[in-house]
Amino acid sequence: MTLSAEQLEATFARQRALRDALVEANKAAQPKSSWTSGLLQFGLKSIPADAVRDGIIGIGKALLERRKAAEQDQPVQAKQPPTPKGRPTERDTRARVTFVGTFEDKDEDMPVLPQ
């Protein structure tokens, strides 16, 4: 089976169009990464861990000092007992053991076990 020049040219044109579509789809599926993401990673890796730790500890201490200063400036308020809301609850008597009994030591009333 032999193909004419026009048939070969049409076949190659379809293959080129398919290849171009595949290349464009591949480029669209893999977007170019931003330079800012690389800069952020570089910045995080370039800062020593001790500096980060000291910064976090310093911020925590400053927050605690600010909280203590705010608490000292406020007047102390007397605690009031909470007000009951709705119907007061009754004591649950089912949870208690109410067995009351007496024990008398009388030897004659005690049964003797056979030996």
Buried b (16+ CB within 10 A) or exposed e, 69-97: eeeeeeeeeeeeeeeeeeeeeeeeeeeee
- Per-residue pLDDT, 59: 94
The better pLDDT of the pair 36, 20 is held by: 20
Mean predicted confidence (pLDDT) in 91-98: 62
Mean predicted confidence (pLDDT) in 104-115: 62
- Per-residue pLDDT, 110: 61
Mean predicted confidence (pLDDT) in 65-88: 73
